Amino acid sequence: MEQQKVYYFDNNATTRVAPEVVDAMIPFLREFWGNPSSAYGFGAQVHGHVEAAREKVATLVGADPKEVVFTSCGTESNNSAIHSALVTTGKRHVITTKVEHSANINFGEHLQKMGFEVTYLPVESDGSLDLHVLEQSIRPDTAIVSAMYANNETGVIFPIEEVAAICRSKGVLCHTDAVQVPGKLPIDVKRLGVDFLSLSAHKLHAPKGVGMLYVKKRTRYTPYVIGGHQERGRRGGTESVANIVGFGRAAELALATLEDENTRVRALRDRLEGWILSNIPNTVRNGAKEPRLPNTANIAFDFVEAEAVLMLLDQVGICASSGSACTTGSLDPSHVLSAMGIVPMRARGSVRFSLGIYNTAEDVDYVLQHLPRIIQKLRDISPLSPEHPDNDRYDIEAARKKHEEEMASVKE
Ligand SMILES: *Cc1c(COP(=O)(O)O)cnc(C)c1O
C-alpha cells in the first residue's frame, strides 16, 4: 500500500503513530511475544516492560503506577469508571454533560434503558460549564459526576479542579475524560483531585486499541471487563503488550512535546483560524477562544454544508472533520454545537481543524490556498444565502434566545 501525501488536520480523531513509538513496539511483535502472566523467564521479562510502560504513563498524569489500569481504549475507560461507581456505591444517578464524547452520551442512554437515571448538564453558548448548575444537580443518590477535561470538537476546557472539589464536598465520585489533553496541557491528577481519569493512546501518537484508567488510591473499584487476574484484578484479558509499550513511549514524548504544541502548533492554529475569520466572510468560531486546547479550531462557514466542504478538501488531500469521527455519516448537526444553542444550519456548516506536532507552516498555507475557493464555489451553487427566502433557517438570534431561556430555567 502506498499513501500519497495528506495534509492532516484531524488530530482530535486520531494521530500518526510516532516513529519512536513504532521502534519501541517492534521487539514486542517480533521477539518478546511471551505472555506477561507466564511464570517462566520468557514471559516474565515481558511483564517487566509492561510495568515500565505503566510507570511512564503514570508520570504523564502525575499518578502512582499502581493507580494506572490499562484498558483497550478511551471508551472502555469511561464506561469502566461509571460502571464501577454505580456498583460500588449502589446509587442509581449519574451526572455527565451534553457535550461529552459519544463514549459517555451513549453509555448514559444505555444506563437509562437499564433503569438508571442520568442528568446531562447543559453548557453556555461558548461551550463552558456552569459550576452552580452542576452543584445544584447533585442529589443524595448521585454516584458519580463525569465531565470531560477538554472537548474534542471545540477544544473548550472545563475547570475540572473545581468540578472535583464540588464532588468531594458532596461526597460524590468524580471522573474526567482527559483523552484530548496529553501533550497539550500538563496533567496532574493530584492537583485535579479526581477519582478517575481516562486516556486513549491513539490520541497521543501511539496505536489504536489501548487506553488507561487512572483509579485514585483507596477509591473502591470493581472491574468492567471480568476475567483473569491481569491489572491486579482490575481488568481481565491478556495485556496488549506491544500497544502498552508504545503507549509508554508516547507518554514520554507527550511530555517532551508540550512546549512545541503550546508555542509553534498554537501559533499555526491561531494563524489558520485568524486568517479564515478575517478573510472569508460569514465565518465564526464555535466555542470560547480561551480556555481552549492550543490545537483545535472549530469554524462555522455559513451558507454551506460542512460535508461538501470536507469532500472538496479531501479532493486536494486535506483531512479535516465536521466534529466527531464517531458521528460522521449522520446528517444530524453535532450534539456539541447543538448543546451550545447554535442554530442547526450553522452547526451543519461547521468544520473542525485539529492540528498536531507534525503540522508545518506549509500545511497551513496549503489549506489557506485552497479553502477560499472551495467555500466560494459551494456558496455560488448554494440555495442558502443571506438573501434567500428560506434564510430564516439561519435565525441565529432566535436559536440564541431559546438557548438562553433554557439555561435560565435550569439556573433557577
Ligand atoms: C477519541 C475520544 C474518546 C474515545 O477514545 P477511543 O480510544 O477511541 O475509544 C473518548 N473521549 C474523547 C474526548 C475522545 O476524543
- Mark whether 78 and 132 lie in a shared domain: yes
Question: Ligand 1 centroid vs 143 CA: distance in angstroms?
Answer: 22
Taking CB atoms within 8 Å and a gap of at least 24, the contacts of 19-27 are 20/249, 20/253, 21/205, 21/206, 21/207, 21/246, 21/249, 21/250, 21/253, 22/246, 24/245, 24/246, 24/248, 24/249, 25/207, 25/242, 25/243, 25/245, 25/246, 25/249, 26/242
Position 14 in a domain = no
- Mark whether 248 and 219 lie in a shared domain: yes
Residue that is last in its domain, among 256, 274, 291 = 256
> 302 CB under 6 A from ligand 1?
no
Position 280 in a domain = yes
Would you state the cell numbers that stand for residue 175, as one nine-digit string?
471522573
Would you state the cell numbers that stand for residue 222, as one nine-digit string?
470493581
Cβ atoms of residues 7 and 232 within 8 Å: no
Give the pairing type, strands 117-121 and 142-146. unpaired
Q: Of all atoms in ligand 1, which is nearest to the CA of residue 14? A: 1
> What's the pLDDT at 392?
66
Sites in the chain below the pLDDT cut of 50: 326
- Mark whether 374 and 407 lie in a shared domain: yes
Active site residues: 326
> What's the pLDDT at 4?
80
- Mark whether 59 and 133 lie in a shared domain: yes
Ligand 1 mutation target, pool 14, 75, 336, most atoms within 8 A of CB:
75
> 77 CB under 6 A from ligand 1?
no
- Mark whether 42 and 167 lie in a shared domain: yes
> What's the pLDDT at 324?
52
Cβ atoms of residues 158 and 167 within 8 Å: no
> What's the pLDDT at 388?
67
Position 336 in a domain = yes
Burial environment of residue 387 by CB neighbours within 10 A (0 to 12, 13 to 18, 19 or more)? exposed
- Mark whether 232 and 275 lie in a shared domain: no
Q: Give the distance, in angstroms, between the CA of residue 380 and the centroid of all CA atoms in the same chain.
A: 35
How far is the C-alpha of 279 from the C-alpha of 386, rounded, in Å?
18
> 352 CB under 6 A from ligand 1?
no
Q: Residue 38 sits in which domain range?
A: 19-256
Position 124 in a domain = yes
Position 12 in a domain = no
Question: Ligand 1 centroid vs 208 CA: distance in angstroms?
Answer: 10
Position 9 in a domain = no
Residue that is last in its domain, among 256, 277, 306 = 256
Q: At what angle do helices 361-381 and 266-279 cross, to 10 degrees?
A: 30
Position 365 in a domain = yes
> What's the pLDDT at 400?
84
Question: Ligand 1 centroid vs 213 CA: distance in angstroms?
Answer: 12
Please give the C-alpha separations between residue 410 and each of 124, 140, 366, 398, in angstroms, as whole numbers: 11, 19, 45, 19
Cis peptide upstream of residue 291 (ω within 30 degrees of 0): yes
Position 3 in a domain = no
3-state secondary structure at position 400:
helix
> 103 CB under 6 A from ligand 1?
yes
- Mark whether 354 and 228 lie in a shared domain: no
> 100 CB under 6 A from ligand 1?
no
Q: Tell me the CATH number at 310.
A: 3.90.1150.10
Residue labelled with grid coordinates 458519580 = 144
Ligand 1 mutation target, pool 158, 177, 197, most atoms within 8 A of CB:
177
Tens-digit pLDDT profile for residues 120-162: 999 999 999 999 999 999 999 999 999 999 999 999 999 999 9
- Mark whether 265 and 407 lie in a shared domain: yes
Would you state the cell numbers that stand for residue 290, as one nine-digit string?
480561551
Nearest CA to ligand 1 atom 3: 74
Residue that is last in its domain, among 256, 285, 307 = 256
Residue labelled with grid coordinates 451543519 = 348
Taking Cα atoms as reference points, which of 73, 54, 78 lies closest to residue 64?
A: 54
Q: Tell me the CATH number at 158.
A: 3.40.640.10
Taking Cα atoms as reference points, which of 187, 85, 196, 186 lies closest to residue 142?
A: 85
Ligand 1 mutation target, pool 180, 225, 327, most atoms within 8 A of CB:
180
- Check residue 262 and report its DSSP letter: I
Q: In what order do the strands lie in the sheet with 196-200?
A: 68-71, 211-215, 196-200, 173-177, 142-146, 93-97, 117-121
Question: Ligand 1 centroid vs 103 CA: distance in angstroms?
Answer: 7
- Mark whether 276 and 228 lie in a shared domain: no
Question: Ligand 1 centroid vs 200 CA: distance in angstroms?
Answer: 6
Taking Cα atoms as reference points, which of 243, 252, 180, 233 lies closest to residue 211?
A: 243
- Mark whether 167 and 107 lie in a shared domain: yes
- Mark whether 205 and 215 lie in a shared domain: yes
> 321 CB under 6 A from ligand 1?
no
- The domain total for the chain is 2
- Mark whether 82 and 127 lie in a shared domain: yes
